Amino acid sequence: MNKPPAGTPSSSPDRDMVPGIRDVAAAAGVSRQTVSRVLNASPNVSAETRRTVMAVIERLRYRPNRAARALGTGRTWAVTVVTHDTMLYGYAATLQGIEEAARVEGLAVGVRVVESDREADVRNATDYVSDPSAGGVIVIAFDAAGLAVLRALPGSLPAAAAIEPGMPDVGRPAICLDERHASAEATRHLLELGHRTVHHVAIPSESEHSGRQAGWRRALGEAGAVIPPVLAAGWDVRSAYEAGRVLAADPEVTAILCGNDDIALAVRRALYEAGKDVPGDVSIVGFDGVPGSQYWTPALTTVEMDFVGLGRTTVAAMLAELSGAPQPAVSLTPPRLVVRESTAPPPVWRAATRPSR
């Protein structure tokens, strides 16, 4: 076998070459600035161009230089996510979006769970992410624990947050999905079907001014409908099931807006055990758009939320903080009502409109 001349590499130059941003731009037929905008989740890029650039990034296996990007910041080119929960759909899908965007940026991702909003737990989480090895910080502040950490972070720490609408200003880039309009739309959908009012089972993070509850109240108020007392449920489905039993025992209840899809499933079970048909006797609307909810029996009417997009956008906001760049414009798919099989006119309305024989 002939040996290659001395100094000749044993593998092809293309295999050993590390692609740079210029290579991505050339292969995609765009400028370096356009590639940078895609990497920073700028809304000033068309969907077609974004898909083309992302396809080239994956094909070339381009990864930004972490060491070069860390120079001058004093912090590792990484992101640490602080969250109270990693299992519930909204939290998990937001984490998915963070991981996807961080992977493109070449960011290492770590997760720090804060157990509660007690002072000791908040201090432990804050101390952990204050170390420069933690990199930038993203707080999923959908609850009291996350919000407490967000408020306790040192001002010098580059951080961004995913929050619930209606939360007070935290002095950080804080991004939310505006649930008010979709919640009002879901409530109006039930009222337009003929329901006199809509009951609400709330998730723990809700307040009178939070998006889901504010939209529900607004729609009922605009329609002149009675605003029933809110039934609070915990993050556990058992508490939602108990709330469902209370509602199932009330013959006046014909429509329920649930704080999330897990609550809707538990309430559906309580109604089933009480002999109530969905949607024949009671209509149910969920919230979040959990994958698979269209395959429930009946298929769940729900509000779909772009949690993955929320996670991606928080990465762009955190990177702007880390680099001192201006904050990018936020471009998220707004929450939307998806009507399926779990909503219908109430029994009295159907009986009144049924043609006589």
Q: How far apart are CA 143 and CA 319, in angstroms?
A: 24
Residue with tokens 């692609």, as numbered in its chain: 19
Q: Which residue from 277, 247, 245 is spatially nearest to 345, judged by alpha carbons?
A: 277
Burial class (CB in 10 A: 0-12, 13-18, 19+), 6: exposed
Q: Is 207 helix (H, G, I), strand (E, B) or coil?
A: coil
d(CA 300, CA 287): 10
3-state secondary structure 229-270: CCEECCCCHHHHHHHHHHHHCCCCCCEEEECCHHHHHHHHHH
**What is the pLDDT at residue 48?**
86
Q: How many helices (H) and strands (E) does the chain have?
A: 14, 11
- At 3 the pLDDT is 40
* The pLDDT value given to residue 353: 53
Question: Measured between alpha carbons, how far apart are the two ends of the chain, in Å?
Answer: 95
Common-topology check for domains 67-177+306-326 and 179-304+338-353: yes
pLDDT of residue 242: 97
pLDDT in tens, the chain (357 residues): 444 333 333 333 343 456 777 888 899 999 877 887 777 666 677 878 888 988 898 888 886 654 445 434 567 788 999 999 999 999 999 999 999 999 988 888 999 999 999 999 999 999 999 988 888 999 999 999 999 999 999 988 899 999 988 777 778 899 999 899 999 999 999 999 999 999 999 998 787 878 899 999 999 999 999 999 999 998 889 999 999 999 999 999 999 999 999 999 999 999 999 999 999 999 999 999 999 999 999 999 999 999 999 999 999 999 888 777 778 877 788 999 999 999 999 997 555 555 544
pLDDT of residue 182: 94
Taking the domains of the chain in order of start, what are their residue ranges?
16-62, 67-177+306-326, 179-304+338-353
> How many C-beta atoms surround the C-beta of residue 102 within 10 A?
24
Provide the pLDDT for residue 269.
97
- What pTM does this model have? 0.76
CATH among 3.40.30.10, 3.40.50.880, 2.30.30.700, 3.40.50.2300 for 179-304+338-353: 3.40.50.2300
| CATH number among 3.40.50.2300, 3.40.50.1100, 3.40.140.10, 3.30.420.10, domain 67-177+306-326 | 3.40.50.2300
The CATH T-level fold of domain 16-62 is: 434 Repressor (Amino-terminal Domain) (1.10.260)
Largest CA distance in the chain: 98
What's residue 133's pLDDT?
83
* Nearby residues of 66 by Cβ (< 8 Å), 6 or more positions away: 77, 78, 106, 107, 108
